[in-house]
Amino acid sequence: MVLAETRNPPIANAVLGTIFFVLVEAMFFAALISSYLVIRAGAGLNWIPPANVRLPVEATAVNTVALLISGVLMILSAKLFADKNPKARWFFLGSLVLGISFVLLQGREWIGLIDVGMTILSGVFAACFFLLIGLHGLHAITAIIAMVYLWLTMQNDLIKVERIQAITIYWLFIVGIWPVLYGLVYF
Amino acid sequence: MMEHILPQASSSAASIDFIIDLIFYIVGAWLILAEGILFYFIIKYRRKAGVKAEYVTGEKHEEMKWIHIPHNLVLVFDVIILIFAIKVWYEVKQFQPPADETVRVIGQQWSWRFVHPGLDKVLGTTDDVETVDDFHVKIDTTYHFQLESIDVLHSFSIPAFRLKQDAIPGRVITGWFKPTRLGQYDFQCAEICGIGHGIMKARVFVETPEEHEKWLKSRAQVVSVSN
Amino acid sequence: MSVEHHHEEHGHHAGHHEQTFWQKYVFSTDHKVIGMQYLFTGMLMAVVGGFLSYVFRMQLAFPGEIVPFYGLVTPASYGSLSTNHGTIMIFWVAMPVLIAAFGNFLIPLMIGCDDMVFPRLNRLSYQIFLISAILILATLFLPHGGFAGAWTAYPPLSVSEQYNSTPYAAPLWVLAVALEIVAFLIGGINFITTLMNARAPGMKMFDVPIVIWMIVLASVLFMASVGPLVAGAIMLLFDQTIGTGFFSPAKGGDPILWQHLFWFFGHPEVYVVLLPAMGIVAEVITVFARKKMFGYRTIIYSTIATCIISFFVWAHHQFVAGIDPRMANVFSITTLIISIPIAEMTFLYIATLYGGSIQLTSAMLFALSFLVAFLIGGVTGIFLGSTGSDIYFHDTYFVVAHFHFTFFPIAIIAVFAGLYYWFPKMFGRYMNETLGKIHFWGTFIPFNLIFLPLFYSGAAGTHRRIYSYQHFSELSIPSVQNMQVIATYALLVLLAFQVVFVVNFFWSMFMGKKAGNNPWNANTLEWVAPSPPPHGNFQEMPTVYRGPYEYSVPGRDLDYWPQNVP
């Protein structure tokens, strides 16, 4: 192990690095949200969704709850890992499964929208919708890939708790920003 | 000082040149002082045999006050500059004196189109005179301009007037100017707009009312001949 | 990721095995090797960026004439030359050399550590950076030529081929910049985490050398400001490639939105490169004046203040862009306010020289000339930050002269100061001092002769990004055109003298006089390690007893007191 990694700092390396990474992501999403608001304010008549399209507000509400529960499970799993409780990995798995279901169900809703003719090229509202929700989904997918990797690693008990803390911070960011996007874009 | 480089051909030019001069003298003095002290230290404190450097850390107030005093003076001068800068900006960009006439200025890749009110002095009537790259205005007349672009960003710039305003497609931006000096001046596009940005020039002609009327009449004849 | 697991089991053995050429120099995770990779890539890109400026300066001085080693400059190619000169110099020269090269090389050495905390991420960041560099160079050779919409890439021009005539280069340029940003985000995480977590025992935050503070603060500033540009770049890429209308008025979008996203990053970006440059200058002037940095803590606090205020000034780039005129005044106020902490820092640097024992080595000449030139750059910014005067100066050569009087000291002068200073540590040999001094004068004087005339040119109304001023009667008069000619001749002299540096640099690397650990009698920890440092840096990890600038302490025989000496 590189000596630089062993100097017992108050906040572990992986956690500190993730905090700064989340800072970048927060600014990135803040910019997307401000851009959304600016375009919405200036687009006038161009803003309305294409005709005949109704956003799946209710289905996504259910999905939102699932994602929030996933976040809670992740927090609990991090606490249990720190206590070396063997149940920790099951909470982690629960969080991961709910995360995957969020992404898959969102994907299904998207296919529904595309089927009725709303694509990213259907005007500036649709473009903003797919951009914001899509980028969030992409971040969710990368987090899920990391979680799958960690799930596989934790099977032989050699996982460091700082890695669980790191993915928890990242996942909580993704979970936390979602209701903001949902509220802004779907209503 | 600026008037020695380029004539002041609009009523705003003198105000803008004033703020430029004010900043020039203030920052110029600071620059000379700072550079002077820097060079003085470099020369005075050259390494000399047997002479050790002093241990001066800035932690004592008597030492730090040499930084605090200039620091506070910079703040004072910044405020002075801001007061005058904002005053000039307000006069030129925020306040719009009532218009004697209105003109339309339309930028496109890669030319400028001007719509002048015709002999009736009203914009939007059938006797309006449209030109390409040829802008005719009367001396001592307050104009409102309606600035547009039909494709990319351009920028309406007349250095002799000290005037500049970007043109944005999808918007009409208004501003004002009042020419105060007869003559012909460069009209530039001051925002990169593609391959032809460098040839996107026009000419401004500041004329007496009589010259202007003569020009309008000659353009009206051109229009009626071609009809 | 399984490699990482493997690495943990092997522990520190990697340094003791014989490494192949590829492991040691190409796929290394050693921060010093990665730092050198960034340095040499940046230097190569500087040759490209410098060549581009040579071509368009020749066109400006001698319009319509064939440029040696290039050919005829057309209006289309002029746009591409100036766009890519700016883009390459900022993203592929200034940032990699100042932050990634010096940062990678110095941070572990100066905080007393053996490597960064995420060595594999470090290697990945260089690999992504290299891909971005290859990509931007490739755009120069595409059909229809390189992107020509200015480094600011304002839509609608940057969006469609119909406007910009560069259908392939436009999106690929955006992609190259985006990749470069990702590389620096990865690098930044490494730098910040390493500084906070891996300092030598005894090194408190206020014992950290200024250059390290500056590089890490610059990384934080970069990371906090770049998100909006990435968001904008994605929207721009979509507009360019699939026809969304985020920035198209006809489709409900807003071209000014791009400007805000760009400059929200673009302004902090200039401090991202300024900070490391000031850090390098701080190290050089303390060593070669034998003096403690004057007001170390004030410098750190002023820097942090500058970083925070830098988020609130961005629209001074947009005063006449069509923003609400009332907002312009707000940004003018914040812009002049930011001049205060920066002025403070320059005063503190000048005060550091007071009572010193100054040795005018090549490194010191460059460091002092940084201050001389940056003062001019800084005060000329006031003309641009004040709304009233910016109406006139916006998009003129006055702006060009102002930012070259800041960027050139930052990206070139301070870098040379750092290279001449740390060369013995990097390569174990001295550079030739006489050649260094010749290089210095042959750089500093021509630099001034290039850009001082351009202030006059801008004051005369010369607008930017124009391939030839022959059509403009007010700008083709001799007094204005002569400025272009002087600037071009000065550039030719400047470029010629860089040969002296290149020869000195590469010859000294192999044949220079050998240097010991601490040729300059400096205090900071990198001078404890051998020159050059081996893998692992220190034979014994140092412990730190005091701050980095205890020079000429009264009562001591030696005029320096290394941080690791009790």
* Residue C198 host element (H or E): none
Give the domain CATH number at B137.
Answer: 2.60.40.420
pLDDT in tens, B45-67: 999 998 999 999 988 999 999 99
- What's the gap in Å between the CA of B116 and the closest CA on chain C? 23
Q: Which residues of C touch A123 (CB under 8 A)?
A: 245, 251-252
Cβ contact B162–C552 (<8 Å):
no
Cβ contact C332–B89 (<8 Å):
yes
Q: Which residues of C touch A34 (CB under 8 A)?
A: 228
pLDDT in tens, C236-277: 999 999 999 999 999 989 999 999 999 999 999 999 999 999
Report the DSSP pairing between strands B163-167 and B202-207: unpaired
Q: Is A104 left (phi over 0), alpha (psi -120 to 50) or beta?
A: alpha
DSSP-assigned letters across all residues of A13-64: HHHHHHHHHHHHHHHHHHHHHHHHHHHHHHHGGGGSPPTT----HHHHHHHH
Q: What is the pLDDT of residue C294?
A: 96
Cβ contact C223–A23 (<8 Å):
yes
pLDDT in tens, B69-84: 999 999 999 999 999 9
**Residues of chain B numbered 78-137 and touching chain C (CB < 8 Å):** 78, 81-82, 84-90, 92-94, 109
Cβ pair B179, B161 in contact under 8 A: yes
Cβ pair B45, C355 in contact under 8 A: yes
Check pLDDT > 50 for residue C1.
no
Strand order, beta sheet including B143-149: B129-132, B111-116, B101-108, B143-149, B173-177
- What's the gap in Å between the CA of C217 and the closest CA on chain B? 23
Find the CB nearest C230 among A28, A44, A121. A28
pLDDT in tens, B103-147: 999 999 999 999 999 888 898 888 899 999 999 999 999 999 999
Interface with A, mutate which of C159, C181, C193 (most A CBs under 10 A): C193
Q: What is the pLDDT of residue C7?
A: 38
Residue type, C252: G
Cα distance between residue B215 and residue B59, in whole Å: 73
- What average pLDDT does the segment A18-23 reach? 96
Check pLDDT > 90 for residue A127.
yes
User: Is A73 in a helix, a strand, or coil?
Assistant: helix
- pLDDT tier at A5 (50, 70, 90 boundaries)? low
Check pLDDT > 90 for residue B220.
no
pLDDT in tens, C35-75: 999 999 999 999 999 999 999 999 999 999 999 999 999 99
Cβ contact C11–A1 (<8 Å):
yes
Find the CB nearest C357 among B47, B168, B189. B47
pLDDT in tens, B160-196: 999 999 999 999 999 999 999 999 999 999 999 999 9
Instruction: Find the closest chain C residue to A128 by CA distance.
Output: C246
- What's the gap in Å between the CA of B210 and the closest CA on chain C? 26
Cα distance between residue A159 and residue A81, in whole Å: 9
Check pLDDT > 80 for residue A20.
yes
Interface with B, mutate which of C290, C379, C454, C464 (most B CBs under 10 A): C379
Cα distance between residue C35 and residue C43, in whole Å: 12
Cβ contact A24–C226 (<8 Å):
yes
- What's the gap in Å between the CA of C307 and the closest CA on chain B? 18
Find the CB nearest C251 among A5, A9, A124. A124
Q: What is the pLDDT of residue C5?
A: 38
Residue at token pair 């692992």: C536
**Residues of chain C numbered 98-117 and touching chain B (CB < 8 Å):** none
Find the CB nearest A17 among C189, C227, C238. C189
Boundary-marking domain end, from B71, B94, B117:
B94
User: Is B50 in a helix, a strand, or coil?
Assistant: coil
Q: What is the pLDDT of residue C479?
A: 95
Report the number of distinct structural domains present in chain B: 2
- What average pLDDT does the segment C486-509 reach? 98
Interface with B, mutate which of C298, C392, C474, C484 (most B CBs under 10 A): C392
**Domain spans of chain C?**
1-208, 359-509
CB pairs under 8 A between B and C: 279
Find the CB nearest A24 among C117, C227, C536. C227
Considering only residues A157 and A58, tell me which one the structure prediction assigns the higher pLDDT: A58
Q: What is the dihedral of CA C497, C498, C503, C504, to 10 degrees?
A: 90
B6 shares its domain with B114 = no
Cα distance between residue C521 and residue C467, in whole Å: 51
Secondary structure (H, E, C), A105-137 = HHHHHHHHHHHCCCCCCCCHHHHHHHHHHHHHH
Report the DSSP pairing between strands B183-189 and B202-207: antiparallel
Q: What is the pLDDT of residue A49?
A: 73
Q: Which of B177, B85, B23, B101 is nearest to C325 (CA)?
A: B85
> Subunits touching C (CB < 8 Å, at least 3 pairs)?
A, B
Cβ contact C294–B57 (<8 Å):
yes
Q: What is the pLDDT of residue A52?
A: 63
- What's the gap in Å between the CA of C240 and the closest CA on chain A? 12
B105 shares its domain with B89 = no
Instruction: Find the closest chain C residue to A130 by CA distance.
Output: C244
Report the DSSP pairing between strands B111-116 and B101-108: antiparallel
Cβ contact A2–C220 (<8 Å):
no
Check pLDDT > 50 for residue C15.
no
Quote the domain boundaries for residue B216.
101-226
Q: What is the pLDDT of residue A157?
A: 72
B126 shares its domain with B213 = yes
Q: Which of C190, C210, C358 is nearest to C288 (CA)?
A: C358
- What's the gap in Å between the CA of B53 and the closest CA on chain C? 5
Question: Phi, psi at residue B148, to the nearest 5°?
Answer: -135, 165
pLDDT in tens, C299-350: 999 999 999 999 999 999 999 999 999 999 999 999 999 999 999 999 999 9
Q: What is the pLDDT of residue A4?
A: 64
B78 shares its domain with B14 = yes
Cβ contact A121–C244 (<8 Å):
yes
Q: What is the pLDDT of residue C432?
A: 97
pLDDT in tens, C111-169: 999 999 999 999 999 999 999 999 999 999 999 999 999 999 999 999 999 999 999 99
pLDDT in tens, B202-219: 999 999 999 999 999 998
Q: Which residues of C touch B92 (CB under 8 A)?
A: 388, 391
Cα distance between residue B137 and residue C313, in whole Å: 37
Q: What is the pLDDT of residue C22?
A: 86
Task: Tell me how far apart the terminal alpha carbons of chain A are, to the nearest angstrom.
Answer: 51
Q: CATH topology for C1-208?
A: Cytochrome C Oxidase; Chain A (1.20.210)
Boundary-marking domain end, from B94, B116, B145:
B94
Q: Is C529 on the interface with A (CB under 8 A)?
A: no
Token pair of C396 as six digits: 């003129």
> Subunits touching A (CB < 8 Å, at least 3 pairs)?
C
Q: What is the pLDDT of residue C136?
A: 98
Write the DSSP symbol of residue B138.
E
Sign (positive/negative) of CA torsion C526, C528, C534, C540?
Answer: negative
Q: Is A27 on the interface with C (CB under 8 A)?
A: yes
All domains of chain A in start order, with CATH: 14-41+68-186 (1.20.120.80)
Q: Which of A41, A131, A180 is nearest to C245 (CA)?
A: A131
Q: Is B4 on the interface with C (CB under 8 A)?
A: no
Cα distance between residue C376 and residue C409, in whole Å: 10
Instruction: Tell me: ipTM over 0.90.
Output: yes
Instruction: Find the closest chain C residue to B110 by CA distance.
Output: C163
Cα distance between residue B89 and residue B81, in whole Å: 12
Residue type, B111: S
Q: Is A5 on the interface with C (CB under 8 A)?
A: yes
Q: What is the dihedral of CA C243, C244, C246, C250, to 10 degrees?
A: 70
B57 shares its domain with B127 = no
Residues 6+ apart with CB under 8 A from C462: C396, C397, C469, C475, C480, C483
Considering only residues C44 and A41, tell me which one the structure prediction assigns the higher pLDDT: C44
Q: Is B49 on the interface with C (CB under 8 A)?
A: no
Q: What is the pLDDT of residue B225?
A: 53
B133 shares its domain with B71 = no
pLDDT in tens, C432-465: 999 999 999 999 999 999 999 999 999 999 999 9
Q: Share the mean pLDDT of chain C.
A: 95
- What's the gap in Å between the CA of C136 and the closest CA on chain A? 24
Q: What is the pLDDT of residue C244?
A: 95
Q: Which residues of C touch A19 (CB under 8 A)?
A: none
Q: Is C375 on the interface with B (CB under 8 A)?
A: yes
> What is Dmax (Cα atoms) for chain B?
95
Cα distance between residue C306 and residue C320, in whole Å: 25
- What average pLDDT does the segment A115-133 reach? 92
- What's the gap in Å between the CA of A81 and the closest CA on chain C? 19
